[in-house]
Structure 1
Amino acid sequence: MSGTVPGPGPVTRLLLVDDQQLVRSGFAMICSVEPDLEVVGEAADGAAAVERARGLRPDVVLMDVQMPVMDGIEATRRIVAEDLAKVLVLTTFDDDAYVDDALRAGASGFLLKNSDADRLVDAVRTVAAGHALLAPEVTRRVIERMVATGGDAGPPPASGAVAPDPGLARLTPRESEVLALVGQGMSNTEIAGELFLGEATVKTHVSNVLAKLHLRDRVQAVVYYHRTLT
């Protein structure tokens, strides 16, 4: 279905969590036709999701937000805290609070349910590969909110912007270039094209940037960039 189907390789195991059976069935139908994705379980509420994640140890959990017994934010927090799986939050609610809460709970991605099938599949692959992902519809707004409120995005900016964050001095010139492009929301593929580098090289640079600046993922890198350099 997706235009970016990878070659033979490891299969990503998925746990689908939503209180509506039809929604879970729809996600299962979309994912099951992809050769590198396998739905290994389902859950109808957050508490059941945590228990199923403990037993199944999926690679990625597709998590709804509003559910009975335990909501998706708390379930995400527990799954991430126990390092059971990466979590991709899916919701119909285009609401900043849900995005902020999901990211602070440790979600690796946030996608609206009205996204098309290809975007959903690509989002699962992105999160499974260890990258962070935000729905394009909400990325800029979330960044602006987190920058304005001093959200959890690594070291704070220098007082009065008198001096740059000392962490930046640890970056090589190329890593600084990569940080700037990540900060603009570019993917590894787009950065590779911009800098005429291989994607593997870009991935290494991104990993070095995150490690040197003590950032958890690309979302934090984007916020860090806008807090310290713009």
Structure 2
Amino acid sequence: MKIKVLIADDNSFIREGLKIILNTYEEFEVVASVNDGLEAVNICKQHVIDVALLDVRMPNMNGVEATKLISEQTKTKPLIITTFDDDEYILDAIKNGAKGYLLKNNDPERIREAIISVYNSNTVIQDVVMEKIKSNLIDKKQESKIDRSLFTERELDIMALIAKGFSNKEISKQLYISEGTIANHITSILNKTGLSHRTQIAIYYLTGRVH
């Protein structure tokens, strides 16, 4: 079964280029390509779309606003793909339910992997984007601003490593505990904070803000 993809970008050259690239992979079916966020939302509501690739700056409705409506009203997983690595956009897109944030200057294989990863309920955020978040949000003392009393020491250790971009496998090696145990701790952290995925945990750990 193919992954059904929507492409939303107001630049026709990029939009059609992405469509051609994705159609060369047998995993994907590009259901629609549109040039504004409002149209993207409407198509996601009317059709089965697995992953929506959304540019940030579009007419009628930008990608961040479209992400919010798509997350709230459909089962589609939004993936922001853009030339803009603006911190404000990154944070807003993730808060609005984006499952990933990817810059357009990636090679096709990286974009392919990101779509498949998001389809499989993972979160994709490029190192360069995460570094930008960190450099702008961490204070000079590099201290977390969260209420540490809410969490166990082990949960705090795991959150700190997630904020550094470590995968569960890497955390497992660092803390000498199984990936299953780590997953249980992450579930506990998500329940305590009301967050929905690990990228939000990283931002929460660095900023102390849930919303």
The 3-state SS of whatever aligns with 2:194 is coil
Within the candidate set 34, 41, 44, 1:43 is matched to 34
Q: Does 2:198 match 1:221?
A: no
For 2:43, the equivalent position in structure 1 comes to 52
Q: What is the aligned partner in structure 1 of residue 2 from structure 2? A: 11
Which whole-Å CA distance do the structure 1 matches of 2:120 and 2:175 have between them? 22
* 2:103 matched residue in structure 1: 112
- Corresponding residue of 2:88: 97
- Aligned partner of 2:63 in structure 1 is 72
Match of 1:124 among 115, 118, 122: 115
Change (3 A) 1:85 1:69: same
Unpaired stretches in structure 1, ≥5 consecutive residues: 1-9, 149-155, 159-163
Whether the 8 Å contact between 2:52 and 2:77 is mirrored in structure 1 is yes
Work out whether 1:206 is the aligned partner of 2:186: yes
Residue 112 of structure 1 deviates from its aligned partner by: 0.9
Task: After TM superposition, give the deviation of residue 75 of structure 1 in Å.
Answer: 1.4
Aligned to 1:143: 134
Aligned CA RMSD, in angstroms, stands at: 2.7
In structure 2, the gaps of 5 or more residues are 140-144
Q: Which residue does 1:183 correspond to in 2?
A: 163
| TM-aligned CA deviation for residue 50 of structure 1 | 0.9
* Separation in structure 1 between the aligned mates of residue 167 and residue 93 of structure 2, nearest angstrom: 21
Task: Report the residue type matching 1:129 in the other structure.
Answer: N
Shift of 1:203: 4.6
Q: Using the TM superposition, give the Cα deviation of residue 185 of structure 1 relative to its aligned residue in structure 2, in angstroms.
A: 0.3
Q: Structure 2 length as normaliser, TM-score?
A: 0.80
Give the aligned partner of residue 165 of structure 1. Answer: 149
The count of aligned residue pairs is 203
Between the aligned partners of 2:75 and 2:177, the Cα distance in structure 1 is 34
Q: Is the 8 A contact 1:131 1:218 kept in 2?
A: no
Q: Which residue pairs with 2:142 in the alignment?
A: none
CA offsets 1:20-79 (integer angstroms, 9 cap, x no match) = 232122222332333333222221111111111111131110001112222222211211
What TM-score results when the alignment is normalised by the length of structure 1? 0.74
Give CA deviations for 1:187-221 in whole Å, capped at 9, x if unaligned. Answer: 24444555677766655553443234432211121
Q: Deviations over 1:157-184 (max 9, x none)?
A: 23xxxxx232x13x7x4x5554333221
Residues 1:32 and 1:99: Cα distance change in structure 2 (over 3 Å):
same
Select which of 77, 81, 87 maps to 2:78: 87
Higher mean alpha-carbon deviation, 178-187 vs 73-82, is at 178-187
Q: Aligned in 2, Cα 1:213/1:77: closer, same or farther, shift over 3 Å?
A: closer
Percentage of identical aligned residues: 33
For residues 213 and 16 of structure 1, what CA distance do their matches in structure 2 show?
Answer: 32
Question: Contact 1:147–1:223 at 8 Å: present in 2 too?
Answer: no
CA contact (8 A) 2:137 2:206 kept: no
Please tell me whether the aligned partners of residues 51 and 119 of structure 2 are also in contact (alpha carbons under 8 angstroms). yes
